[in-house]
Amino acid sequence: MISTLNDSVATLNGIGPKKQLVLNSLGIKTIADLLNYFPFRYDNFKAQSLADLPAQAQVTLRGVVLDSPNLFRYGYKKTRLTFTMRVENAAVRVTFFNQPWLKKQITPNQPLVVYGRFDHQQLSMAGMRIISNTTNKMDPIYSVNKQIRQATLRKLIQETYEQYHDQIAEIIPESLRKRYRLESHQQVVHDMHFPKTLADSKRALRTAKFEEFFIFQMRMQLLRIRDHQFAGVQINYDHAAVAAFIAGLPFQLTNAQQRVVNEILANLGDDSQMNRLLQGDVGSGKTIVAAIAIYATITSGYQAALMVPTEILAEQHANGLAKIFADVPVSIALLTGDTKPAVRKEILPRIESGELNLLIGTHALIQDEVAFHNLGLAIIDEQHRFGVNQRGALRKKGDSPNVLTMTATPIPRTMTLTAYGEMDVSVINELPAGRKPVVTRWIQENQLSNVLPFILQRLTQRDQMYVIAPLIEDSDQSEMQSAEATFEMFKRSFPGFQVGLLHGRMKDAEKNAIMTAFKNQEIQILVSTTVIEVGVDVPNASLMMIFNADHFGLAQLHQLRGRVGRGQKQSYCILVANPKTEVGKKRMNVMVETNDGFVVAQKDLELRGAGDVMGRQQSGQIQFKIGDPVADLVMLSYAQQEARGIINDPHWTEKTENLPLVKYLNDESLNDSLD
């Protein structure tokens, strides 16, 4: 009896329980899994021309044997078989190690095809085997383990293919196959396993990657529409009040802000739950967008919450939003780990009663004792600083509240398309008018004295400066610059100016006092560790110097740099670094060359490589078998676009119900991918 592709491999002839386990260990459970277990490379046994051989590669050469082979024995059971072969017009010395039996197969004047490692300089080849059948053969090489041999797996796949290829069903709808010149899935399976030429295998690989991305994106889009189907809080906001609020702002929204505000308001106003990621480069003005969403929510009688990762930021937002909401009826409370018990005791019941309609704070917001009256909108700023559980905990403070997550750490396209694939994404891709890009320079440590006059000149013009050092205090464990030593150094070098010190080991009250002094221009030079990294907004600061810049990630450097360039003045960022590696130097140059956080993020991912462990972690542990979400970014984004198009089409299930994909997508694994 013939099985279907979704049946277990155990139903195949010759697969007993033992073999089944071996196949399972390779991730092969069903017959379809087996057919889609593609080789990771091919050995090319098509004879190649001497002229276009890749250096030091395994190659196949066709020639004529010139002399009788010599067999040498040496060491313990070691042999060396040598002869000369004419290939085109060259004499190539061929050596086979430890295969004495080949001697019988080699006679002068005999045509011969040999596979092995070729050395251009010596015109010699370390032979690996003699090829008897050379008709354009590409041998698939599979990833196997100790329990199964290459040849066994190859044979199994071949037999299975012969028996089952008729059942291989299509994955990609025909219209898309035409648009992207993709092959049928049957052709892909055939050519991935048994290509006649390299070109065959390349073409098949291209479609196979698209298939993999497309299935993934269909899954993500299904999650997305499923989220949308959950009834969420519908915010019937007061259109006139919101319009008046926007008109009353001290500046005009940029086009990008306006567009994003519209996207968010539309989401709030419908009855589905919003799950939106707002990305905007540092200084692009996300806060005001959040404020508009908060205000809209409050006009409809619902509460809003804003959660941020640090006390400094919570304080800053509470002050800033109090100003923004000065003329409208919004009552704000601030709740952090620092909030005095008495104050806290007074706030909590007023949140629960709904008297307070905006709660701003740190992780303190998600403690058990915090209960809302009716949370309609939860905003999480700098979302990457929170874990999935913390984000989820805020969400659970309401009954399906709308959720807006914000990030100023630009997320590379690769990751928005993978790790965040099920979210709606809004991007503010424009800075408020009049901003000048930060000029970034990279200097070596011994060039420091060259830039001091420049710094002095800027300080004399009342500019303010941040100086960043990676460590708090000097350490015998590290050669890196400490904030304390830097603080002393700047005090000595710039005696006429006020220098402040800020680091994470200081008490919050102390930190806040220093930040306030810096804001009020009582301190001109602020030496700090990376505690000032996120969100801090002091527009008069226009100069930044970062020590041991190569020690930081590019995203972090970009965040730090974002503290300057916030006012009308030209700002400067000086990176001090002596990177030891080529990649380290390239990373510094990325910072010098671009101010665009999205470019920084994508370059960062490229430099680290898709295979990099960190990259894997950051991309949400999504592992593709054949597609590379960094290198194949363009294809990945087309796959998403098409998956969205199909799913947004009200007839998509009918149009695609014959695709095995739909069944595949409806299985329980869909639930596993929900957090």
Candidate list 283, 412, 579, 597; residue touching ligand ADP; CB under 6 A: 283
Q: Which stretch binds Mg ion (CB under 5 A): 10-18, 93-101, 183-191, 527-535?
A: 527-535
Token pair for 279: 């990305």
> Based on CB atoms, which residue is closest to ligand ADP, 220 or 308?
308
- Residue 282 contacts which entry, Mg ion, ligand ADP, none (Cβ below 5-8 A, type-dependent): ligand ADP
> Applying CB under 6 A, does 219 fall inside the site for ligand ADP?
no
Distance, CA of 241 to CA of 508 (rounded, Å): 37
CA 384 from centroid of its chain's CA atoms: 12
CA-nearest of 643, 514, 632, 637 to 217 is 643
Residue type, 584: G
Residue 551 DSSP label: G
Minimal distance, residue 595 CB to ligand ADP, in Å: 13
Work out which of 253, 308, 415, 590 binds ligand ADP, going by CB under 6 A.
253
Q: Of 402, 302, 351, give the one whose Cα is nearest residue 334.
A: 351
Q: For Mg ion, what does the binding mask look like between residues 252 and 291, x meaning CB under 5 A? A: ----------------------------------x-----
Is the torsion defined by CA of 638, 641, 644, 646 positive or negative? negative
Q: Which amino acid is at 538?
A: V
If binding is defined by CB under 6 A, does position 429 make contact with ligand ADP?
no
Rounded CA gap, 596 and 599, in Å? 5
Min CB(567)–ligand ADP separation in Å = 8
Q: 58-65 and 78-87: which strand pairing?
A: antiparallel
Say which entry of Mg ion, ligand ADP, none residue 432 contacts (CB below 5 to 8 A, set by partner kind).
ligand ADP
- Binding piece for ligand ADP, criterion CB under 6 A, among 21-29, 171-179, 253-261, 344-352: 253-261
Candidate list 270, 508, 537, 628; residue touching ligand ADP; CB under 6 A: 537
Question: CB-wise, 244 or 614, nearer to ligand ADP?
Answer: 244
Asked if 407 touches ligand ADP (CB under 6 A), the answer is: no
Cα separation of 331 and 577, whole Å?
47
Choose the binding region for ligand ADP from 28-36, 226-234, 283-291, 365-373 (rule: CB under 6 A): 283-291
- 50-53 own/partner pairs: CB under 8 Å, 24+ apart: 50/87, 50/88, 50/90, 53/118, 53/120
Give me the 485-524 binding string for ligand ADP, x by CB under 6 A, dash otherwise.
----------------------------------------
Quote the least distance from Cβ 535 to Mg ion, whole Å. 4
Q: Which stretch binds ligand ADP (CB under 6 A): 95-103, 123-131, 282-290, 634-642?
A: 282-290
Q: How far is CA 286 from the centre of its chain?
A: 22
Q: Is 535 in the site for Mg ion (CB under 5 A)?
A: yes
For residue 594, the 8-state DSSP code is -
Cα 500 to Cα 254: distance, rounded to the nearest angstrom: 35
Number of residues that this document lists for the chain? 675
Q: How far apart are CA 358 and CA 342, in angstroms?
A: 19
> Looking at beta carbons only, is 250 or 611 nearer to ligand ADP?
250
Segment interacting with ligand ADP (CB under 6 A) among 21-29, 245-253, 502-510, 594-602: 245-253
Stretch that binds ligand ADP, among 61-69, 113-121, 280-288, 352-360 (CB under 6 A): 280-288
The 486-505 site mask, x for binding Mg ion (CB under 5 A), equals --------------------
Among 501, 476, 477, 472, smallest CA distance to 487 is for: 501
User: What gap in Å lies between CA 80 and CA 102, rounded to an integer?
Assistant: 11
Q: Does 562 bind Mg ion (CB under 5 A)?
A: no
Binder among 23, 282, 351, 590 for ligand ADP (CB under 6 A): 282
CB of 568 to Mg ion, least distance (A): 19
Q: Give the shortest CB-280-to-ligand ADP separation in angstroms.
A: 5
Token pair of 257 as six digits: 């802000």
Instruction: Please report whether residue 287 would count as binding ligand ADP according to CB under 6 A.
Output: yes
Dist. CA 649–CA 221, nearest whole Å: 12
Q: Which C-beta is closer to Mg ion: that of 195 or that of 562? A: 562
Nearest-approach distance from CB 384 to ligand ADP, in angstroms: 14
- Size, binding site for ligand ADP by CB under 6 A: 19
Cβ neighbours around 448 below 10 Å, total: 16
Q: Which does 609 bind (CB under 5 to 8 A by kind): Mg ion, ligand ADP, none?
A: none
Q: Pick the closer one to Mg ion by CB: 28 or 427.
A: 427
**219 interface partner picked from Mg ion, ligand ADP, none, CB below 5 to 8 A per type:** none
Q: Give the shortest CB-641-to-ligand ADP separation in angstroms.
A: 27
Q: Is 408 in the site for ligand ADP (CB under 6 A)?
A: yes
> How far apart are the C-alpha atoms of 540 and 519, rounded to whole Å?
8
**Least distance (Å) between residue 567 CB and Mg ion:** 16
What is the smallest separation between the CB atom of 535 and ligand ADP, expressed in angstroms? 6
The entry of Mg ion, ligand ADP, none near residue 283 (CB within 5 to 8 angstroms by kind) is ligand ADP
| Nearer residue to ligand ADP within complex by CB, 444 or 520 | 520
| Candidates 1-9, 242-250, 533-541, 584-592; binding stretch for Mg ion (CB under 5 A) | 533-541
Cβ neighbours, 10 Å, residue 647: 18
* Selection from 302, 242, 529, 288 nearest residue 406 by Cα: 288
For residue 273 the two structure tokens come to 């739950």
Q: What is the DSSP letter of 271?
A: S
As a whole number of angstroms, the distance between CA 80 and CA 30 comes to 46
Which one, 205 or 591, has the nearer CB to ligand ADP? 591
Q: Which of 164, 33, 220, 171 is nearest to 661 (CA)?
A: 171
The single residue among 190, 317, 503, 566 that binds ligand ADP, judged by CB under 6 A, is: 566
CA atoms within 13 A on the CB side of 461: 13
Using an 8 Å Cβ cutoff, are 78 and 20 in contact?
no
What DSSP assignment string belongs to 400-441? S-EEEEEESSPPPHHHHHTTTTTSEEEEE--PPTTPPPPEEE
The residues of the shown chain that bind ligand ADP, judged by CB under 6 A, are 251-254, 257, 280, 282-288, 408, 432, 535, 537, 539, 566
